[in-house]
Structure 1
């Protein structure tokens, strides 16, 4: 069944084993993130020693979720050479990893033989899929969730295919 997604915090709170996230866009235009992107463009980089300045409340949610024993993995399919926005993501990824996420990068040209859903998604516990919808410019348009088993299986298979081909963050360079 398809329905409007509940708040993301509720989805994470209900998660017991795994939360998998596949990102396939080279740019996201999030007004809440715009100040961080502009600061990055001006030369600001998160200080590894100053966790209080990192992206809140997201990283707190990740740390709490991982602390409950949930594995969080994120795979990013990226065009190369990478976009400016992807460089921004890359420079801040150490904070996600410090909070407990595992992250890999897959150059888009290596994804050509993979069957992928048409939209970014989160897969919770292998059964609930949250698709995020974006405009061509990267503006967030909304999301839906479904617990249809065939769609969950499609997303699980797609994610694992990407994960197996992707490069761990520590080994990927932009």
Structure 2
């Protein structure tokens, strides 16, 4: 997020302060732990002079520099927090930052809105509890086919509970123009 705000300030790109809404999403369709944040980003921002400047159509900032800056900022933050146990090879890997234009943003809102109050698994995906095993349905992203996952009840509970956030933890955050401070 800070990397995106930094790059967007560059006059070669937007040259303005963007607004962002971030939604934390911690699960995969099979309830595996996969923390990531989806951001809705304004299609422009306010210049230092207080004027609105739109971004170019279908382009906000270059993805490769964004990935490099993001990785460096994350590494620095982890070092400050004494998280030095992260394997050094992580910082040598190619990181992907996926930025896609979504037109007016309606489709993105429709996709993200349910995640604001949704838990990792809804009741309608539960198929069976029998012999100490839980079966639930999920859509395989590659084929869009409905599949079933059967887990030992203990493993099912472990997977589900790792997505329960601490009390008062805000899974939606606002940055840049949309920041309350």
- From the CA coordinates, give the structure whose radius of gyration is larger: 2
The two structures have a TM-score, normalised by structure 2, of 0.26
The two structures have a TM-score, normalised by structure 1, of 0.27
Q: Relative contact order, CA 8 A, sep 6+: which one is greater?
A: 1
More helix as a share of residues: 1
